[in-house]
Chain A
């Protein structure tokens, strides 16, 4: 495991190396060498299984964080390659030539976050939503409650209670509130 990490650190100038467990580690590399690192792991280090690809929205930093998680079935180790891309101009090199299932992941990310993967097959097609015409629904500035209220005829009269407060008021009105409970309410 450490050998692999050292090699990638040297070859691709990886930062933020996080070793979560003996068999799981994450590295952050620059955007333009991320696919190279994934290809290197697949072709030279035996990471033949592509586990998943995902995206985290760091809205405050103006970045999307992409993760490519790979598995080596012989050594039973997992390595995640992370990379940051610009949020407003979200374009990432496509990796569909490495594993076919990456088509689907990239299609999903294109719909959910609006990330463009030039050259990825069928990337423009609908993934789970049909005829979506708002901003990509997983971007954090998308207000799902507001959208729902404007679109789906909310039934009036719906109220929400904090379960702990509500139960105390209804079931134990005379019981004094302890200091610990006060903390919990906050």
Chain B
């Protein structure tokens, strides 16, 4: 335990700060399931677990440099043909995704498929309006996806707030919180528009321009500041994967 704590000084600092803030506000910082506790292992021994330290790496994201010439081109070609989308519907637009797995639209012919976990996926569709509450989950999920990863923003709401531009609970511009590769405009865009968006994403990947995961690492502090401005009860590590 102590070794892991030493390995992640940033997490320790962040936690200490958040704990102080929570204490000042008279609130409890960790959720009950995240509290440090003792559990009984299958062999009967008692082990200490501290979920916040045990489950997350507190390391900052790092930029990944492209490989040499033709190797990178080959990799990009391969990446473009395997777009695995995380099955996470954030707003009303997620209803446009199920038709894509039907024979009528059939996204599998483009190498696009849905995955149930962020660990297995490299594309994230933000489907429609995004409330602050969901944004918190989106940040955690996005950071858990392995790089290279791509974000498609679906619908007007992710571009300028759409019809929820004056809502107190939904964000206006997604690109201030996580980097966006492709915007698909419309309210709602039809499944054909989504397929066109995947086509555009493939072009970008093949051209080596879908480098937004690196941009997130480069401008990490700016993104974090924006995220923390609106996620008021920040009770997770700064970077969790």
Contact = CB atoms under 8 A, between A and B. Distances in A.
Interface stretch (A12-20, A31-39, A131-139): A131-139
Contact of A158 (B160, B168, B226): B160
A130 B233 contact: yes
A153 B133 contact: no
Contacts of B166: 144-145, 148-149
A129 B135 CA distance: 12
Contact of B168 (A131, A147, A154): A147
Contacts of A152: 161, 170-173, 230
Contacts of A130: 132-133, 136, 231-233
A153 B176 contact: yes
A158 B159 CA distance: 11
Contacts, number: 58
A40 to B, nearest CB: 39
Interface string A140-162: 00101101110111110010000
B169 interface: yes
Given A129-B133, A130-B132, A158-B160, A151 B167 contact: no
Q: Is the interface on chain B under 10, 10 to 19, 20 to 34, or 35 or more residues?
A: 20 to 34
6 contacts: A128-B169, A131-B231, A151-B230, A152-B170, A152-B173, A158-B165
Nearest to A138: B168
B133 A132 contact: no
Of B159, B169, B226, most buried by chain A (CB within 10 Å of CB) is B169
Interface size class of A (residues with CB under 8 A): 20 to 34
B229 A154 contact: no
Interface of A: 128-134, 137, 142, 144-145, 147-149, 151-155, 158
Contacts of A144: 166-168
A28 to B, nearest CB: 31
A132 B229 CA distance: 12
Given A129-B133, A144-B168, 15 more contacts: A128-B133, A128-B169, A131-B233, A144-B167, A145-B166, A148-B168, A152-B171, A153-B171, A153-B226, A154-B160, A154-B165, A155-B159, A155-B160, A155-B161, A158-B160
Given A142-B168, A144-B168, A153-B173, A131 B232 contact: yes
A81 B232 CA distance: 38
A148 B167 CA distance: 6
B133 A148 contact: no
Nearest to B176: A153
A45 to B, nearest CB: 40
Contacts of A147: 168
Contacts of B133: 128-130
**Of A128, A137, A148, most B-chain CB atoms within 10 Å:** A148
A137 B166 CA distance: 13
Contacts of B136: 130
Nearest to B233: A131
A67 B149 CA distance: 50
A164 to B, nearest CB: 18
B102 to A, nearest CB: 33
Contacts of A154: 160-161, 165, 172-173
